[in-house]
Amino acid sequence: MLKWTWLSAVVIVLDQITKYMASTMLLMYKPVAIFPMFNFTLMHNTGAAFSFLDDAGGWQRWFFTVIALAVSTFLIVWIKRLTAKEKLQAIALALILGGAIGNVIDRIWLGYVVDFIDVYYQQWRWPAFNIADSAISIGAVLIIIDTIKAARSTDNHKTDRA
């Protein structure tokens, strides 16, 4: 099922293009309103998800890079072992792989991840994110959906036998 890694490549390219555009067209922390509750706001994240360990002193850059590369290797092996009937899982893993690599490129080259998608409601703000983060999130949701479908299928199969 490595044929789905083209999706990873698309995520990486879109992620890097949009991050470049955000970095060259936006000013740091200056929101540009797109829609109600949705801005583009340039931010740099030296930590992990939701800026976890953002102020840890620098070691986290290489720590998260190594973890992302290890996870990416694991995902490639996982995708390779999938069968043709596990298409949704392959798509989900390809999205997660593309997102992981998109963010690791930033960590290696810049020392931080470029975030620019800013969603909010009144005074509540979701942590800023990017295309790579979106692909990872969509991939995770697809894995959950696939797992639920597989569990239901197994339950139905057991019921049919009874």
Q: Which pLDDT score, from 0 to 100, does residue 74 have?
A: 96
Write out pLDDT tens, residues 83-112.
999 999 999 999 999 999 999 999 999 989
Q: Which range of residues forms the domain containing residue 57?
A: 2-24+42-161
In a domain, 36, yes or no: no
In a domain, 98, yes or no: yes
Write out pLDDT tens, residues 14-65.
999 999 999 999 999 999 999 999 999 999 987 665 555 555 556 667 788 8
In a domain, 121, yes or no: yes
In a domain, 81, yes or no: yes
pTM to 2 decimal places: 0.86
In a domain, 120, yes or no: yes
In a domain, 134, yes or no: yes
In a domain, 122, yes or no: yes
DSSP string, the chain: -GGGHHHHHHHHHHHHHHHHHHHHHS-BT--EEEETTEEEEEEEE-SSGGGTTTTS-SHHHHHHHHHHHHHHHHHHHHHHH--TT-HHHHHHHHHHHHHHHHHHHHHHHHSSEEEEEEEEETTEEPPPB-HHHHHHHHHHHHHHHHHHHHHHHHHHHHHHH-
Count of the separate structural domains present in the chain: 1
Q: Any idea which residues carry the catalytic annotation?
A: 115, 133
